Amino acid sequence: MNIVENFDLFAPRLINKKELLSSGHRACQGCGEVLAVRLMCKALGENTVIASATGCMEIISSMYPTTAWELPWIHVAFENAAAVASGVEAGLKALRRKGKIADRDIKVVGMAGDGGTMDIGMQALSGAMERGHNMLFVCFDNEAYMNTGIQRSSGTPMGASTTTAPAGKVSMGQKTWKKNMAEIMVAHNVPYVATACPSYPLDFIRKVEKAKKVKGPSYIHCFSVCPTGWRCPSDQAVSLGRLAVETGIFPLFEVENGKYKLSSEMPKKLTPIKNYFKSQGRYRHLGEDEINMIQGGVDREYRKLLNKVQCLAAWD
């Protein structure tokens, strides 16, 4: 047990006890995405307004006439969460300036799945980030369109089988590398970009708290295990998230004002990805050659990241 693990072990003492997403939501058993949302809410606290995209998290939390939300929350459509959040931010700003509402700091947060962020919602998000709204956007990346039945997205990793890029006699499933959304956000020159995973709750919460303090746009890309879509046992949402980090498939890092920093959770030596693939049905069809090919890609991307961390850690 190293120091970091020890620290994590007693994490609960440091976590906001208040639940801002109530029980009774309809997420599948062992949903890693709803766990991430729950922890995000704890980190954000009550002075928050959330604008959500259509997707699993919207459907499972807002079944009329009830809601799981204890925070002010709005959903409009699939591709426009960032635009709605922009409007919420602008509205609150104007009303506060004009003395129409109490003078109180409220963080506006946009949230969407990988589809709602990286595909159909990319334009609205890019616009919102470029305009510099004081808002945090969190992508809950479960690597496919889960709400509509596990179709591929640009966040689906190489080799994963989905319902629109299925593995077959002549196909290994997804044939494209996962879009690096965090880097796209870094390219927007926003003050704060981070990757996170609820399997590291303290790290995740600390990053959300940091993003909350930024006066301007910030972005967190949150890896979210989906037992239903990944065809893995429901008790593995947390352990698989950990393996994704330990294999370097999903490295944890932060970019503050353009400066890269690897999160302390990253191991010195990465675990082979086959350990991570093992329990997931979406990778079951892969042969050794394919796994080796993917391992090569993962290593290459991780080296690139380490180089950025080395070169772009400080310059002033």
Partner 1 sequence: MAKRVGMEVALAVAEAVGQCNIDMAAVYPITPQSHIGEHLSDLVADGKIDAEFVTVESEHSAISAIIGASGTGARVYTATSSQGLMLMHEILPIASAMRLPLVMGIANRAVSGPLNILNDHSDIMPQRDCGWISLFVENGQEAIDLSIQAFKIAEHKEVNLPVCVNIDGFQLTHMVEPVEFPDQELVDKFLPARVPFATLHPSKPVTMGAFSMADYFTEIMKAKDEALKNSKKTILAVWAEWAKMFGRTYKPVETYKAEGAEILLLTMGSMSETAELAIDELRAKGLAVGLVKLRLWRPFPFAEIKEVLLSAKKVLVTDRAVSFGGPGGPVCSEIKAALYNEKDRPTIYNCIIGLGGRDVTVADFASMIKKVAEEEANKNADTYEFWGVRE
Partner 2 sequence: MTKKSGPAGWQEITTGCVVLRPGSASEYHTGSWRAQRPVWNNQKCIKCGICYVFCPEGCVAQSEDGYFKANLDYCKGCGICAHECWSRAIAMVEEG
Q: Which residues are at the interface with partner 2 (CB under 8 A)?
A: 9-13, 15, 19, 21-27, 29-32, 34-35, 38-39, 61-71, 198, 201, 227, 233-239
Q: What burial letters (b/e) apply to 8-31, b meaning 16+ CB within 10 Å?
A: beeeeeeeeeeebbeeebebbebb
Question: Is the Cβ of residue 5 or residue 316 nearer to partner 2 in the bound state?
Answer: 5
Other CB atoms within 10 A of residue 313 CB: 11
Question: Is the Cβ of residue 42 or residue 75 nearer to partner 1 in the bound state?
Answer: 75
The single-letter DSSP state of residue 20 is S
Residue type at position 279: S
Q: What angle do the packed helices 201-213 and 32-44 form, to 10 degrees? A: 50
Question: Is the Cβ of residue 115 or residue 217 nearer to ligand SF4 in the bound state?
Answer: 115
Question: Is the Cβ of residue 27 or residue 128 nearer to partner 2 in the bound state?
Answer: 27
Helix or strand (DSSP H, E) at 229: helix 227-230
77 binds, among partner 1, Mg ion, ligand SF4, none (CB under 5 to 8 A by kind): partner 1
* Interface with Mg ion, residue 119, by CB under 5 A: no
CB of 228 to ligand SF4, least distance (A): 4
Contact 231, 28 (CB under 8 A): no
Spatial neighbors of 179 by CB under 8 A, at least 6 apart, are 118, 154, 155
* Interface with partner 1, residue 203, by CB under 8 A: no
Helix or strand (DSSP H, E) at 167: strand 167-168
Residues that bind ligand TPP (CB under 6 A): 33, 54-57, 78-79, 112-116, 142, 145-148, 153
Q: For the CA atoms of the chain, what is the radius of gyration?
A: 19
Question: Cα separation of 178 and 200, whole Å?
Answer: 22
# residues near partner 1 by CB under 8 A: 51
Closest CA to 147 of 55, 242, 72, 33: 55
Q: Applying CB under 8 A, which of residues 75, 152, 178, 212 lies at the interface with partner 1? A: 75
* Interface with ligand SF4, residue 40, by CB under 6 A: no
CB of 22 to partner 2, least distance (A): 4
Contact 54, 147 (CB under 8 A): yes
Q: At 35, is the secondary structure helix, strand, or coil?
A: helix
Site for Mg ion, residues 141 to 160, rule: CB under 5 A: 142, 146
102 binds, among partner 2, partner 1, ligand TPP, none (CB under 5 to 8 A by kind): partner 1
Interface with Mg ion (CB under 5 A): 113-114, 142, 146
Interface with ligand SF4 (CB under 6 A): 27-28, 31, 33-34, 56, 60, 142, 146, 226-229
Interface with partner 1 (CB under 8 A): 46-49, 51, 58-59, 62-65, 67, 69-77, 79-80, 82-95, 97-98, 100-102, 104, 106, 123-124, 126-128, 130-131
